[in-house]
Amino acid sequence: MRYNAVALDYDGTIAHDSEVPPHVLDALTRLRDSGRRLLLVTGRELDELLEIFPGIGVFDRAVAENGAVL
């Protein structure tokens, strides 16, 4: 079975202590380059997320603020 999209949480999943390690960002880039869509799902406020995660552009879409912002 091939998945076309992957949804990932930020805190405690791809980020630890609010930082995404370089090897995780590299793996996400390879996953996106394989033709899959990446979705970031988080309870964080979007403005805060944009400040602390410069690599957010690797994701195709983000669901932030517990679903209040897409």
CATH of the domain at 16: 3.40.50.1000
Task: Name the pTM for this structure.
Answer: 0.89
Domain tally, the chain: 1
Parent domain of 44: 5-67
Residue 34, φ and ψ in degrees, nearest 5: -80, 0
Distance of CA 67 to the CA centre of its chain: 14
**Given phi > 0 = left and psi -120 to 50 = alpha, else beta, which region is 19?**
beta
pLDDT tens across 7-45, in order?
A: 999 999 999 999 999 999 999 999 999 999 999 999 999
